[in-house]
Amino acid sequence: MVRRQLAARGISDRRVLATLATVPREHFVPEHLLDQACDDLPLPAAHGQTISQPYIVAFMTVHAALTRRSRVLEIGTGTGYHAAILARLAGHVWSVERVPELSVAAGRRLGEIGVRNVTLVVGDGALGHAPEAPYDAIIVAAASPKAPPALLEQVAPGGRLVIPVGDRAEQRLMVYHRTGDGFETEDTGPCRFVPLISPDAFSAE
């Protein structure tokens, strides 16, 4: 998967590639989809959520520019797969999920593979997690009409917010890099994510 689906498509960060090679995606997908665990496809998860395709996980992680000391905030824990990858690359990860059952299940999966540097939080992802702010990187695994103000406020100087921005059907994956004068914005291309449900993003349907 890493060689044919990630490296061949331009992912060159060796730390990110090595991490995706060692985190078992099959541990995070539903049992009836185990035969697709190594496919470069998003897969359905419980409560209408998805586990992102490995390429998108790698792409977002590269643009977060993590170091081993990075403090990372993830919005949208889902199955816990991306949190497991971030945890191998960074110092500590705080992961916010609005569905309590998903957070509990993700915590169990993370514990089973020995991940200890992830703190799970149940709450409104658009509000981030102010008690531990600021963060060197914030990665949002759900689409928002715009970058939520609370998330921008929680980015540390020099840090980055990686987030899909657009409507429910189509988005652009945006990177907001905090500088001394505000934010530099980079549009990295089209993407499609489930909506971020929040008064500051999309309403539940």
Cα dist from 40 to 57, 62, 182, whole Å: 10, 17, 36
CB 81 within 8 A of CB 60: no
Angle (nearest 5°) at CA 45 between 44 and 47: 115
Query: Tokens 């994956």 identify what position?
Result: 173
Does residue 198 have an active-site annotation? no
According to DSSP, the β-strands at 43-44 and 71-75 are: unpaired
Of 12, 52, 70, 95, catalytic: 52
- Interatomic CA distance for residues 197 and 64, integer angstroms: 23
3-class DSSP assignment, residue 99 = coil
Which residues are catalytic, by number?
52
